Chain A
């Protein structure tokens, strides 16, 4: 599978897919998309990169261990749920703020943080599995 064309295009393809996955994640609250789908897109991006160029460059590019990313996501999700407890409301009550950034209202919220958590968990876990399987292919 490691044709020169594939190896050459894979990094660009991967960056585009990761960018797209973030886009899907952020638009998710109002348009089709969300953390889970975004996470799957990013995970397949890394899987493609791994198939094309080997696992080591992917691991270098990710910097953190995929499962650490996953754990970090779970942490974000729990924090998103807990934040409302500190304001005296029930666990997982959505908190919203609409600061004006660059002239437009931007919706910042705990559900968004939660969705980012979901995204990271999915990316981390699936990438970890895919990379582990690919790694064995090359040893």
Chain B
């Protein structure tokens, strides 16, 4: 295992974040041309990662990292192997094109700087996610992608649909992230493995663990939500509310692949069990077929692409679930191919939208003449997506059919799903890439035009790469797909498949898929109507279910809160005193640890006087007819206690007690006058008696508890320490003060923060009650939408 120069690796990881910090300033200075400068960040990161490709291709694993929390064995560490290297190259490479594309696409947008900032932050998070070695590092980046994705989807935050899409994505992927956190902790606690390197080196440790099922479910929870498997897929189509560069980048090429990445990464350690080979293909196949059907149904070309992404993710999960070497190779080939063509097609959809001001397929047509470069890019990407030779999509599709060409029911079922899904996606590809460009131009499109260089460059580059990858398949496999497949399978793999078709079963299946795809393309209007009819007859979907779940959650929270927080002070006080009395008395009653009868000390005359003063104060509080008298009497009792402290040799305590009592009386009196209460409080005996009993119970509990503590042998370690070192180290003779500001200064810092926050809260409370004319009840109609 070789050590990569940590500074270079860290630089690659930090570059997107640095660029994100600079983005708003650069955009203010340079306008949309800032994109060229900002694109340098991912480009340089790409170059750094590219320099490691030859070593990684030979099977080397590069690691680097820093200590993070040594006490918890948490490191901030990274690992570059075949799998993460290819992912990282896709992220930074496509990222460079996306930044440029966003420069043209959002030209003149007032928040373009903020957009650059968000998307570069996301890029940094995603890069960290695929390179992370330590499991906690992985989780941190995982959550960071969820949060940045939330910001990007909700970029047009003034539109309600964008906000809803953003919240939905955050709830689903963030919730999945928490499940993954539980999985990470489970792996760390139950198997003692802390990083991917350790997990992969441990062989069967996870599979043999008695907690395998739990770990499996938790990891899947994270992967399935992020990678939009049914029924968690709903957030992905709704995320199309984001500007197109976001959809092209996050929701096709990178973020949604994070779940797939995790499954590929864990495959050698978690895969190859009955659970893995059943659950993953089942979810994957359903997601593939349903996603592809919904793709053909959609009329908005961006939504179509979103659903084909859902379907593609299903296909990938299915292949990883099958888990044979060929299946994993197919998954790797398809993943790279998909990132290239789907990223390109999304950008094409954005260009079309930009030029024709609509994305509705029925209102598009005849744009090919006005936008030749975009049309060319669209065709290149669509041919790859359709799985035609010589494109990388073809290599992937041949390998998929190779992986599934076995006669048993398991493989046949998956093969049927694959053919159906691929045929539907073939049709969807050409609906998006062909229909808008050919035929007659509708009247509604006024001035179709080719976009700027930055707009057509991205999709064209990705389309051409889809072609070159297949033509020079030797280099392509050697540098990217073979190392990636080796890391996924867990042992060295050589991929040989080329673009020249061989006459075998896989090719026949491929041809059948294309034929079926053409039929679907021609019949797409009918299919669209049929599926729409079916869905509206069904009347309920996971998207609707999400809304219901959120509404239910809010209603439950409101019901629970209004039950626990009645807003009545006497209710809170009663509950608090009951809990305190029970906590003090019940253990004593159970363990029988009752204090021995205390030896009553001989008091001096003035001590008797103070004691009498305290008792008089208390009695006066209880029998007082008038509230103000009660408050003042309480103060008398407090001053008595302060005097007692003084006599017993605790001047600091006594001093503080005096001040606290004074202020309590003043503030209580002020509150009383403000609340406009009647001066006296007459309550019937049957109400006061239970309260009195409760107060007695609490008081007796405290008394016994204090006696119990003072009767224990005194441990002088701490007081000796403070006495000896108070002046020697901290230059202070007042031990109490030295403890407060020096020895235990951090505690005090926390306490004064609490004092300040309490001050803020009380001020807010007083203001609210003024504003609402003395009524501060929460309004149920406000909290539930």
Contacts and interface: CB of A to CB of B under 8 A. Distances in A.
B740 A34 contact: yes
Given A67-B763, A71-B756, A134-B670, A111 B741 contact: yes
A85 B652 CA distance: 31
Interface string B457-473: 00000000000000000
Contacts of B734: 28-34
A29 B731 contact: yes
A94 B727 CA distance: 13
A122 B663 CA distance: 12
B738 interface: yes
Contacts of A34: 652, 734, 736-737, 740-741
Interface string B677-703: 000000000000000000000000000
Contacts of A70: 755-756, 759
Contact of B752 (A51, A67, A121, A129): A121
A136 B759 contact: no
A18 interface: no
A67 B760 contact: yes
Contacts of B737: 28-29, 33-34, 115
B667 A133 contact: yes
A74 B752 contact: yes
Contacts of A124: 756, 759
B611 interface: no
Contact of A30 (B655, B732, B760): B732
Category for how many chain B residues contact A: 35 or more
Contacts of B667: 47, 129-130, 133
A89 interface: no
A29 B732 contact: yes
A128 interface: yes
A137 B651 contact: no
A36 B666 contact: no
Interface in B622-675: 651-652, 655-656, 659-660, 662-663, 666-667, 670-671, 673-674
A37 interface: yes
A92 B736 contact: no
Interface in B715-734: 729-734
B659 A92 contact: no
Given A33-B734, A125-B759, A136-B770, A47 B663 contact: yes
Nearest to A74: B756
Contacts of B655: 32-33, 37
Interface in A45-101: 47, 51, 66-67, 70-71, 73-74, 77-78, 81, 91-92, 94, 96
A118 interface: yes
Contacts of A43: 663
Interface stretch (B490-498, B596-604, B743-751): B743-751
A92 B732 contact: no
B749 A125 contact: no
Given A92-B746, A118-B752, A133-B667, A29 B763 contact: no
Contacts of B738: 29, 111
A7 B283 CA distance: 80
A123 B656 CA distance: 14
A67 B759 CA distance: 8
A22 interface: no
Nearest to A36: B656
Nearest to B653: A32
Contacts, number: 145
Nearest to A114: B741
A41 interface: yes
A58 B323 CA distance: 76
Contacts of A92: 742, 745-746, 749
B652 A37 contact: yes
A121 B731 contact: no
B776 interface: no
Q: Chain B interface mostly helix, strand, loop or mixed? A: helix
B673 A132 contact: no
Contacts of A66: 759
Interface in A98-120: 107, 109, 111-112, 114-115, 117-118
A47 B663 CA distance: 9
Contacts of B736: 32, 34
Contacts of A132: 762-763, 766-767
Interface in B179-222: none
A118 B756 CA distance: 10
B753 interface: yes
Contact of B746 (A81, A112, A134): A81
Contacts of A10: none
Contact of A125 (B731, B745, B756): B756
Contacts of A32: 651-652, 655, 734, 736
A134 B667 CA distance: 9
B711 interface: no
Interface in B745-783: 745-746, 748-749, 752-753, 755-756, 758-760, 762-763, 766-767, 770
Contact of B742 (A74, A94, A117): A94
Nearest to A65: B763
Contacts of B656: 36-37, 40
B770 to A, nearest CB: 6
A112 B766 CA distance: 34
B722 to A, nearest CB: 14
Contact of B662 (A44, A96, A122): A44
A110 to B, nearest CB: 9
A121 B666 contact: no
B729 to A, nearest CB: 8
A128 B759 contact: yes
Contact of B755 (A51, A111, A125, A133): A125
Nearest to A92: B745
Nearest to B765: A132
Contacts of B742: 92, 94, 111, 114
Nearest to B670: A133
Contacts of B732: 29-30, 111
A67 B660 CA distance: 20
Most-contacted residue by chain A among B655, B663, B729, B752 (CB, 10 A): B752
Given A78-B749, A130-B667, A137-B670, A35 B759 contact: no
Contacts of A136: 674, 766, 770
A39 B670 CA distance: 20
A15 to B, nearest CB: 18
B663 A126 contact: yes
22 contacts: A28-B734, A29-B731, A29-B733, A30-B732, A32-B734, A34-B741, A36-B656, A40-B656, A44-B666, A47-B667, A66-B759, A81-B746, A109-B731, A111-B741, A111-B745, A114-B741, A118-B748, A124-B759, A126-B663, A129-B763, A136-B770, A137-B674
Given A34-B741, A47-B667, A126-B759, 8 more contacts: A30-B734, A35-B741, A77-B748, A94-B730, A109-B731, A114-B749, A115-B741, A128-B762
Enumerate the 4 nearest inter-chain pairs by beta-carbon distance, A residue then B residue, closest first.
Answer: A125-B759, A40-B659, A32-B651, A29-B732
